[in-house]
Chains A and B, each alone.
Chain A
Amino acid sequence: MKKKTVFSYVTLLLVLTLVLAGCGNQNNNPANPNNSGNDGGSEGQEEARAFRLNLHSEPPSLDPALMEDNVSGTIATGIYEGLTRKDESGNTVEGMAESWEISEDGKTYTFKIRSDAKWSNGDPVTANDFEFAWKRALDPAIGSTYAYQFYYIAGAQDYNEGKTTNADAVGVKALDAQTLEVKLNSPTPYFLGLTSFYTYNPVHQSAKENAGWAADAATIIGNGPFKMGEWQHNTSIKLVPNENYYAKDQVKFTSVDFTMIADSATELANYETDQLDYTGKPTGEIPAEQIPVLAESKKDEFHQVGTASSYYYMFNMEKAPFNNVKVRKALAMAIDRQSIVEDITQAGELPAFGFVPPGIVGVKGDYRDEVKDDFFKEDVEEAKKLLAEGLEELGLSSFPEVKLTYNTNDSHKAIADAIVDMWKTNLGITVGTGNEEWAVFLENRTAMNYEIQRAGWGADYNDPMTYMDMFVTKGGQNNTGFASAEYDALIQKAYASSDQQERIDAMKEAEKILMDQLPILPIYYYSSVYMLKPGFENIYLDYKGDIEYTRGYYVAK
Chain B
Amino acid sequence: MLKYVSKKFLSMLASLFVLASATFFLMKLIPGDPFLREKAIPEKIKESLYAMYGLDQPIWKQYLMYLNNLLHGDLGMSMKQQYMSVTRIIKDSFVYSAQIGVLAIIVSVAAGLILGIIAALNHRKLLDSLTIVVAVLGVSIPNFLAASALQYVFGLKLRLLDVSGLNDWTDYIMPVLALSFLPAAFIARLTRSTMLEVLSADYIKTARSKGLSGRIILVRHALRNAILPVVTYIGPMTANIITGSVVVEQIFGIGGIGKFFVQSITNRDYTLIMGLTLFYGIILMVARFLTDVAYGFVDPRIKLSRGKGAK
Please report A residues at the B interface, Cβ cutoff 8 Å.
1, 4, 58, 60-61, 63, 66, 68, 140-145, 147-148, 160-162, 211-212, 214-215, 232-235, 259-263, 265-266, 269-270, 272-273, 275, 437-440, 442-443, 446, 476-477
Q: A438's closest neighbor in chain B, by CB? A: B266
Residues of chain B contacted by A1 (CB below 8 angstroms): 160-161, 170
- Please measure, in the bound complex, the distance between the C-alpha atom of A270 and the C-alpha atom of B159, giving whole angstroms: 11
Minimal beta-carbon separation of B150 from chain A (angstroms): 11
Asked if A263 meets B251 with Cβ closer than 8 Å, knowing A211-B83, A442-B36, A476-B40, the reply is: yes
Residues of chain A contacted by B41 (CB below 8 angstroms): 145
Q: Is the CB of B252 within 8 A of A266?
A: yes
Q: Is the CB of B156 within 8 A of A232?
A: no
Q: B161's closest neighbor in chain A, by CB? A: A1
Q: Is the CB of A260 within 8 A of B49?
A: no
Q: Is the CB of B36 within 8 A of A439?
A: yes
Tell me which of B31, B40, B82 contacts A215 (CB under 8 A): B82
Asked if A269 meets B82 with Cβ closer than 8 Å, knowing A162-B44, A232-B255, A234-B93, the reply is: no
- Please measure, in the bound complex, the distance between the C-alpha atom of A270 and the C-alpha atom of B164, giving whole angstroms: 7
- Please measure, in the bound complex, the distance between the C-alpha atom of A401 and the C-alpha atom of B7, giving whole angstroms: 59
Residues of chain A contacted by B236 (CB below 8 angstroms): none
Minimal beta-carbon separation of A93 from chain B (angstroms): 28
- Please measure, in the bound complex, the distance between the C-alpha atom of A211 and the C-alpha atom of B259, giving whole angstroms: 27
B163 on the interface (CB 8 Å rule)? yes
Contact with A along B228-252 (1 / 0, CB 8 A): 0000000000000000000000111
Q: Is the CB of A143 within 8 A of B49?
A: yes
Asked if A259 meets B165 with Cβ closer than 8 Å, knowing A60-B81, A140-B44, A439-B31, the reply is: yes
Q: Is the CB of A145 within 8 A of B45?
A: yes
Q: Is the CB of A161 within 8 A of B32?
A: no
- Please measure, in the bound complex, the distance between the C-alpha atom of A232 and the C-alpha atom of B254, giving whole angstroms: 11
Asked if A269 meets B151 with Cβ closer than 8 Å, knowing A61-B82, A143-B48, A215-B82, the reply is: yes
Q: Is the CB of B42 within 8 A of A160?
A: yes
Minimal beta-carbon separation of A160 from chain B (angstroms): 7
Minimal beta-carbon separation of A314 from chain B (angstroms): 12
- Please measure, in the bound complex, the distance between the C-alpha atom of A457 and the C-alpha atom of B53, giving whole angstroms: 30
Asked if A148 meets B255 with Cβ closer than 8 Å, knowing A1-B160, A58-B81, A439-B31, the reply is: no
Q: Is the CB of B156 within 8 A of A273?
A: yes
Q: Is the CB of B92 within 8 A of A233?
A: yes
Q: Is the CB of A212 within 8 A of B253?
A: no
Minimal beta-carbon separation of B49 from chain A (angstroms): 4
Q: A447's closest neighbor in chain B, by CB? A: B31
- Please measure, in the bound complex, the distance between the C-alpha atom of A144 and the C-alpha atom of B82, giving whole angstroms: 11
Asked if A273 meets B163 with Cβ closer than 8 Å, knowing A1-B170, A260-B255, A442-B36, the reply is: yes
B202 on the interface (CB 8 Å rule)? no
B80 on the interface (CB 8 Å rule)? yes
B210 on the interface (CB 8 Å rule)? no
* Closest A-B pairs by Cβ, 8 of them: A439-B32, A212-B83, A234-B255, A61-B82, A235-B255, A261-B253, A269-B163, A143-B49
Asked if A265 meets B148 with Cβ closer than 8 Å, knowing A161-B44, A162-B44, A440-B32, the reply is: yes
- Please measure, in the bound complex, the distance between the C-alpha atom of A446 and the C-alpha atom of B165, giving whole angstroms: 40
Q: Is the CB of A233 within 8 A of B255?
A: yes
Identify 19 residue pairs between A and B in the complex whose beta-carbon atoms are under 8 Å apart, listed by A's number: A1-B161, A61-B83, A63-B82, A68-B37, A140-B48, A145-B37, A232-B255, A233-B255, A235-B254, A259-B165, A261-B164, A262-B259, A266-B164, A269-B163, A269-B164, A273-B156, A275-B164, A443-B32, A477-B38
Q: Is the CB of A269 within 8 A of B156?
A: yes
Tell me which of B39, B43, B80, B96 contacts A60 (CB under 8 A): B80
Residues of chain A contacted by B82 (CB below 8 angstroms): 60-61, 63, 66, 212, 214-215
Residues of chain A contacted by B83 (CB below 8 angstroms): 61, 211-212, 214-215
Residues of chain B contacted by A233 (CB below 8 angstroms): 84, 89, 92-93, 255
Task: List B30-71 residues whose CB lies under 8 Å from chain A.
Answer: 30-33, 35-45, 47-49, 52
Q: A65's closest neighbor in chain B, by CB? A: B82
- Please measure, in the bound complex, the distance between the C-alpha atom of A476 and the C-alpha atom of B45, giving whole angstroms: 15
Residues of chain A contacted by B84 (CB below 8 angstroms): 215, 233
Task: List B143-158 residues whose CB lies under 8 Å from chain A.
Answer: 148, 151-152, 155-156
